């Protein structure tokens, strides 16, 4: 039996507002947990705070190193030859979205172009040391994979979580790719090394800042392994369910869209199989010597002329090529349908900026000295920089989050509910933090299309913020929790669920509350979030179009004569707070009933809701309503038992601690 004082493997985890040491032998928490760095083997570590310095032995148990209730203190960790600094990090300038999930830190790049607006996710790969190459006993090993040797990468980097897609290629290059067939989420291929580098150059010009490249062969293998030492990141063997390859090399199987197969432990998809991926450098000859930041020769050491490494195997190759150490190489102008690439960035917004100044002082395993500059861990993105802590969430991330971060709209969290159906991806619902504030509720007397029950306009103050779903509840999410789909329109699982009564929704909310930790799911009171700081008839202004709102174009058209239906959520632009289809598509049930307006200001108003039969508000209009019926101030009240094909809902999540 292993002694509790002997070295064991631990993973640093952020779990809510805590920084923990977590034994790798135990399943990680399923909510509000995010990996920081690589698993490390040690028996103890040093935690340095402004007021204390401690030696901590976790003894094989989950151990809390730090708990933050406000602004993170100055803190560093010294463990297993690594020195970490706890610090916040702002969103990189090129990132549309920035956050954490169970795999660690990520940043999303969105390219706005005539060919669409594809989003590419990047994973932060922290610096580290690993064994490169394969042992002499490894199955189907090739001679150019040895000898196995120690490689240290002194700077972290951002690596795309998938191979470059056709959608991204076409958006950046401004033209269709010649091989476009089927899904634009297929990896782009038939691209030579020179064309891939040309793509990086064009992308850099579009974004005016970060430098984009291909990963080096060492960076590629380090990211592929993701802390593992087995032939594949999934273990000693693979199946076609894990990797798109062919057991018989040379068979011409088809490519699959990116993210079809499971990610490796660092959240990177299809590093094995599907398409070979170009590397920045050529194939270097391995020796037993330890190396730091190796870069292979641009001239082929095994033949005459220039050559570039490719890694990962492809859908037409055998399992040997899909191993972490499988190597191949081609001349830079070689093109084939099984050759693609993924993006890498060493941009100036990297979390370990300080490490770049200390490249000549790598960790010396012989002397036991730490590197002179610390790595930076992200404990809570941007939260502490907000000027008024009363506007914060009670806890960020909340305990029910599977991912969290910030983007152009503000703070967000994602929830992910598991399913027994392993063939389907679990639905993910994003929620936006709606800060407390004041607004004018109702409509002015001169607003076109105004109904009498919208006035008088009056000031409302909401003293508590809340997490609000950024879309109406989808049929996919409803079906997962409830086991049925009552909707009339079932063309797409991402359409909003409809034909649900207020009582049906209450049952769903109770089920959701029981499925997530430390939260309570409710319905909103709605108008504040719809307006999103605006005072106009719509959050888009005093007029809108069918490109902004799914509604009936004219009042003269008779019911169902125009062939419309609810569109999938996120089909139309969001409001200024990142909330989709608050106008039109489906009516949304509210928590309360009809409240009579008065000119006096009110605080946290709630309409009647004492009896199960009390009529409840529905807001936002629907696909069968004309323009006046989808305004921010429009109000309708229905019996709570009503089920109709244009009524759905969106929900609020609050932490139980915030409600106390």
pLDDT at 223: 96
631 vs 534: CA distance, rounded Å: 12
Burial class (CB in 10 A: 0-12, 13-18, 19+), 582: buried
Residue 378 has pLDDT above 50, yes or no: no
Residue 362 has pLDDT above 60, yes or no: no
According to the CATH classification, is domain 403-659 in 3.40.50.300?
no
Residue 533 has pLDDT above 80, yes or no: yes
Pairing of strands 308-311, 276-278: antiparallel
48 vs 83: CA distance, rounded Å: 11
Residue 370 has pLDDT above 70, yes or no: no
Share of residues in the chain with pLDDT > 90 (%): 56
Query: Could you tell me if 499 and 475 are in contact, meaning their C-beta atoms sit under 8 angstroms apart?
Result: no
Higher pLDDT, 3 or 621: 621
* Mean pLDDT calculated for residue range 356-382: 30
Domain ranges of the chain: 8-89+351-378, 97-344, 403-659
Higher pLDDT, 370 or 295: 295
Give the pLDDT band (50/70/90) at residue 248: very low
Helices 475-482 and 502-515: crossing angle, nearest 10°? 70
Mean pLDDT of the chain: 84
pLDDT at 546: 85
pLDDT at 159: 97
Q: How far is CA 20 from CA 8, 42, 69, 389, in A?
A: 15, 15, 15, 25
Higher pLDDT, 28 or 560: 28
Query: Could you tell me if 272 and 233 are in contact, meaning their C-beta atoms sit under 8 angstroms apart?
Result: yes
**What tokens appear for 572 in the block?**
């139309």
Residue 348 has pLDDT above 80, yes or no: no
Q: Is the peptide bond preceding residue 456 cis, with omega within 30 degrees of 0? A: yes
* Least confident among 23-32, 373-382, 455-464, 493-502: 373-382
**How does pLDDT run across 617-655, given as a tens digit for each residue?**
999 999 999 999 999 999 999 999 999 999 999 999 998
Residues 6+ apart with CB under 8 A from 498: 486, 487, 488, 489, 566, 586, 644, 645, 646, 647, 648
Residue 523 has pLDDT above 90, yes or no: yes
Give the pLDDT band (50/70/90) at residue 54: confident
pLDDT at 381: 38
**How does pLDDT run across 56-113, given as a tens digit for each residue?**
899 899 998 877 665 556 677 887 666 777 666 667 888 888 888 989 889 999 998 7
pLDDT at 19: 82
pLDDT at 560: 39
Q: How far is CA 475 from CA 62, 348, 358, 499, in A?
A: 38, 42, 52, 11
Residue 603 has pLDDT above 50, yes or no: yes
- Taking alpha carbons only, the member of 550, 590, 446, 428 closest to residue 494 is 428
* Least confident among 6-15, 257-266, 532-541: 6-15
Three-state DSSP class for 310? strand
CA 490 from chain centre, in angstroms, equals: 27
Q: How far is CA 484 from CA 473, 504, 513, 563, 647, in A?
A: 14, 12, 18, 25, 17
Please name the helix (run of DSSP H) or strand (run of DSSP E) that holds residue 602, with its range, or none: strand 602-603
Residues 6+ apart with CB under 8 A from 131: 148, 149, 150, 151, 229
* CA quadruple 477, 480, 486, 491: dihedral sign: positive
**How does pLDDT run across 136-156, given as a tens digit for each residue?**
999 889 999 999 999 999 888
Same topology for domains 97-344 and 403-659, yes or no? yes
Residue 364 has pLDDT above 90, yes or no: no
pLDDT at 221: 97
- Taking alpha carbons only, the member of 384, 548, 404 closest to residue 467 is 404
Higher pLDDT, 343 or 11: 343
Where b means 16+ CB within 10 Å and e means fewer, 584-622 reads bbbbbbbbbbebebeeeeeeeeebebeeeebbbbbbbbb
Give the pLDDT band (50/70/90) at residue 17: confident
According to the CATH classification, is domain 97-344 in 3.90.1580.10?
yes
C-beta atoms surrounding 488 within 10 Å: 12
pLDDT at 393: 80
Residue 659 has pLDDT above 70, yes or no: no
What spatial distance separates the first Cα and last Cα of the chain, rounded to whole Å?
A: 45
Backbone dihedral region of 51: left (phi > 0), alpha (psi from -120 to 50 degrees) or beta? alpha
Residue 53 has pLDDT above 50, yes or no: yes
**How does pLDDT run across 434-460, given as a tens digit for each residue?**
999 999 999 999 999 999 999 999 999
**How does pLDDT run across 303-312, given as a tens digit for each residue?**
556 899 999 9
150 vs 398: CA distance, rounded Å: 40
pLDDT at 583: 97
Beta bridge partners of 574: 580
pLDDT at 238: 84
Query: Could you tell me if 99 and 106 are in contact, meaning their C-beta atoms sit under 8 angstroms apart?
Result: yes
């Amino acid at each position: 039996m292993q002694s509790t004082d002997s070295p064991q493997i631990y993973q640093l985890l952020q779990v809510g507002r805590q920084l923990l040491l977590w034994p790798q032998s135990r399943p990680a928490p399923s909510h509000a947990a995010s990996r920081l760095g690589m698993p490390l083997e040690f028996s103890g570590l040093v935690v340095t705070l402004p007021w204390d310095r401690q030696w901590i032995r976790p003894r094989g148990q989950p151990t809390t190193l730090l708990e933050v209730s406000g602004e993170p203190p100055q803190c560093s960790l010294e463990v297993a030859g690594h020195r970490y600094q706890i610090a916040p990090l702002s969103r990189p300038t090129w990132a549309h979205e920035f956050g954490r999930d169970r795999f660690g830190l990520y940043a999303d790049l969105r390219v706005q172009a005539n060919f669409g607006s594809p989003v590419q996710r990047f994973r932060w790969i922290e610096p580290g040391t690993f064994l490169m190459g394969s042992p002499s006993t490894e199955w189907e090993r090739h001679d150019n994979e040895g000898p196995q040797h120690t490689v240290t990468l002194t700077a972290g980097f951002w690596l795309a979580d998938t191979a470059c897609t056709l959608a991204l290629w076409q958006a950046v290059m401004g033209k269709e790719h010649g091989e476009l067939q089927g899904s634009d989420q297929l990896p782009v291929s038939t691209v030579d090394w020179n064309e891939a580098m040309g793509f990086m150059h064009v992308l850099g010009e579009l974004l005016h800042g970060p430098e984009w490249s291909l990963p080096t062969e060492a960076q590629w293998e380090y990211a592929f392994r993701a802390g593992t030492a087995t032939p594949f990141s999934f273990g000693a063997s693979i199946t076609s369910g894990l990797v798109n390859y062919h057991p018989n090399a040379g068979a011409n199987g088809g490519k699959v869209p990116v993210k079809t197969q499971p990610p490796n432990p660092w959240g990177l998809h299809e590093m094995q199989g599907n398409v070979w991926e170009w590397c920045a450098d050529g194939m270097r000859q391995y020796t037993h010597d330890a190396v730091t930041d190796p870069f292979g020769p641009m001239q082929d050491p095994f033949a005459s002329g220039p050559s570039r490494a490719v890694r990962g195997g492809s859908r037409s190759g055998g399992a040997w090529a899909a191993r972490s150490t499988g190597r191949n190489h081609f001349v830079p102008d070689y093109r084939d349908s099984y050759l693609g690439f993924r993006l890498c960035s060493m941009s100036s917004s990297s979390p370990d900026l300080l490490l770049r100044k200390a490249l000549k002082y790598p960790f010396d395993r012989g002397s036991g000295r730490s590197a002179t500059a610390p790595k930076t861990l992200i404990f809570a993105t941007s939260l502490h920089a907000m000027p008024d802590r009363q506007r914060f969430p009670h806890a960020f991330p909340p305990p029910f989050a599977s991912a969290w971060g910030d983007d152009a709209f503000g703070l967000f969290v994602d929830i992910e509910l598991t399913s027994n159906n392993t063939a389907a991806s679990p639905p993910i619902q994003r929620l936006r933090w709606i800060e407390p504030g004041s607004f004018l509720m109702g409509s002015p007397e001169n607003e076109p299309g105004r109904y009498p029950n919208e006035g008088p306009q009056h000031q409302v103050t909401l003293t508590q913020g809340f997490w609000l779903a950024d879309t109406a509840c989808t049929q996919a999410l409803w079906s997962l929790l409830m086991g049925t789909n009552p909707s009339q329109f079932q063309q797409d699982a991402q359409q909003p669920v409809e034909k649900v009564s207020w009582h049906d929704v209450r049952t769903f909310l109770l089920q959701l509350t029981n499925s997530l930790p430390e939260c309570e799911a409710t319905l909103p009171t709605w108008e504040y979030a719809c307006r999103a700081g605006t005072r106009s008839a719509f959050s888009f202004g005093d007029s809108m179009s069918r490109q902004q709102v799914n509604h009936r174009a004219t009042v003269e058209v008779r019911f169902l004569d125009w062939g419309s239906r609810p569109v999938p959520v996120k089909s139309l632009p969001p409001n200024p707070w990142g909330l989709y289809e608050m106008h039109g598509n489906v009516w949304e049930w509210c928590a309360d009933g009809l409240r009579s307006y008065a000119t006096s200001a009110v605080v946290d108003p709630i309409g009647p809701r004492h009896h199960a039969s009390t009529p409840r508000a529905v807001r936002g209009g629907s696909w069968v309503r004309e323009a006046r019926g989808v305004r921010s101030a429009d109000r309708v009240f229905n019996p709570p038992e009503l089920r109709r094909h244009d009524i759905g809902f969106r929900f609020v999540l609050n932490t139980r601690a915030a409600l106390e």
